[in-house]
Amino acid sequence: MIRIIKNVHVFAPEDVGIKDVLVATNKVIKIADKFEMDSDEEFLETIDGSGLYLFPGLIDGHVHILGGGGEGGYKTRTPELAFSDLVKGGVTTVVGCLGTDGVARSMESLVAKAYGIREEGISAYIYSGSYRLPLKTVTDSIQKDIMMIEPIIGVGEIAISDHRSSAPTIDEFLKVASDARVGGILSGKAGLVNVHLGDGKQMLEFLEYAKLNTEIPLTQFLPTHANRNRELFEVAIQYAKDGGYIDFTTSTVPQFIEEGEVPASEAFLLGLKAGVDKSHMTFTSDGQGSLPLFNESGEFLGLDVGRVTSLYESMCKLHVTYALPLEIALLPVTKNPAKLLKLHHKGRVFEGGDADLLLVDKVTLQISGVMAMGNWLKKDNVIIKKGTFE
Ligand code: ZN
């Protein structure tokens, strides 16, 4: 099938103006001022893009696609990701991870879930391992996992500075990072180390140590939840100013904000104001992760669940509430994660790139169309592709 989206305002994410965009099979073939083709051809679909923006499909680099471990016992294990949530949130590339629970949830299940998401039509990758070291892999080694299992593009989320971590030593941590790096180099993948930052006092000490005492470049690490409290946020901003990359979590609940979490959109804005390079900050949703709620005496009240839809909402907030131009607001959810994850065919609208595209109403910023690998998952405001059991 060949599709032409006509008269659409393209943010690639840079503003390239009103264009016609030609898509064939799963690739963007041509972006030009105007195309004329015989519209009687049955293999040709023409879409009127006037009144719409065209964005790259979003990349969500940290989602508990199998569900996460619940802090309130077995009954609070969070549910698997529903495929249509990705479609609703405009996410066309997802990176799945385990999390706190590396026992009742396995790497094998994670690989299978990623393949399932691909079969439904969205690009999916995964990290090897869970919170704890030694890392649980599919094979017997991190390098082998990255080099031999195609969807595995890095390791994580490895917990540091958190009471739920394995209290890893710096040597254990660096050994994992060097294995991931070499696995990445030999396979042409990112070999990224996705690091879960907890509320502990260590904060980013391990990463600062790696910077000063090893040859591992800071592009190898993406510490996440950097916005989880004010103190950590300030340290993370300094780390990013010194050349590091940091990720802000978009899923939240009002109680977390009251307790000091910096909302992702505000965090990005404050980062820019503090002088952090705009390419050094990313957003992830932490979708399907547990968001435990406690009362004032610390008693467990219940759980909420992270949502992948929060990613797009945070991007919109950057543009609507904080008046950042779309070409900047889109960076932490498109081009920046694509670069760090070495998904060079993703995160931008360009000739030869994957046809992962969003059509968005210019006035309301509602996502009216989602195309993933050249196929419509949502069209004319209607979700047309759901998961098998939805
Ligand atoms: Zn985490």
Other beta carbons within 10 Å of 75: 7
Other beta carbons within 10 Å of 247: 28
142-186: pLDDT as tens digits = 999 999 999 999 999 999 999 889 999 999 999 999 999 999 999
Cα 248 to Cα 142: distance, rounded to the nearest angstrom: 26
pLDDT at 89 over 70: yes
pTM over 0.95: yes
Ligand 1 centroid, distance to 351 Cα (angstroms): 35
Name the maximum alpha-carbon separation found in the chain: 69
Ligand 1 centroid, distance to 224 Cα (angstroms): 7
Ligand 1 centroid, distance to 286 Cα (angstroms): 7
Ordered by start, the domain boundaries in the chain are: 2-55+348-383, 57-340
Q: Where are the alpha helices (DSSP H) in the chain?
A: 83-88, 107-120, 142-148, 170-187, 205-213, 230-241, 254-258, 264-274, 309-320, 326-329, 335-340
Residue 21 pLDDT class (50, 70, 90 cuts): very high
Comparing CA positions, the residue from 326, 332, 333 lying closest to residue 362 is 326
Ligand 1 centroid, distance to 10 Cα (angstroms): 34
175-218: pLDDT as tens digits = 999 999 999 999 999 999 999 999 999 999 999 999 999 999 99
Higher model confidence: residue 144 or residue 299? 144
- Tell me the pLDDT of the chain averaged across its residues: 95
Q: Between the CA atoms of 320, 322, 324 and 326, what dihedral angle is there, to the nearest 10 degrees?
A: -30
Q: Which residues contact 176 (CB under 8 A, 6 or more apart)?
A: 129, 133, 135, 142, 155, 158, 193
With a pLDDT cut of 70, the percent of the chain lying above it is 99
Cα 69 to Cα 7: distance, rounded to the nearest angstrom: 46
Other beta carbons within 10 Å of 22: 21
Residue 380: active-site member: no
- The tokens for 165 are 């971590």
- The tokens for 268 are 């990005």
Are 113 and 80 within 8 A, CB to CB? yes
Residue 39 pLDDT class (50, 70, 90 cuts): low
Q: Give the pairing type, strands 91-96 and 44-48.
A: unpaired
Cα 82 to Cα 89: distance, rounded to the nearest angstrom: 11
Q: Is 2.30.40.10 the CATH classification of the domain at 2-55+348-383?
A: yes
CA-to-CA separations, 164 to 55, 124, 126, 132, in angstroms, rounded: 38, 27, 21, 8
Residues, Cβ < 5 Å to ion ligand 1: 157, 196
337-364: pLDDT as tens digits = 999 999 999 999 999 999 999 999 999 9
Cα 387 to Cα 178: distance, rounded to the nearest angstrom: 37
243-294: pLDDT as tens digits = 999 999 999 999 899 999 999 999 999 999 999 999 999 999 999 999 877 7
Select which of 286, 354, 361, 380 is catalytic: 286
Are 7 and 50 within 8 A, CB to CB? yes
Ligand 1 centroid, distance to 196 Cα (angstroms): 5
What single DSSP character describes residue 77? P
Ligand 1 centroid, distance to 70 Cα (angstroms): 12
Cα 132 to Cα 145: distance, rounded to the nearest angstrom: 17
Question: Which overall architecture, per CATH, does domain 57-340 show?
Answer: Alpha-Beta Barrel (3.20)
Are 390 and 83 within 8 A, CB to CB? yes
Cα 59 to Cα 225: distance, rounded to the nearest angstrom: 17
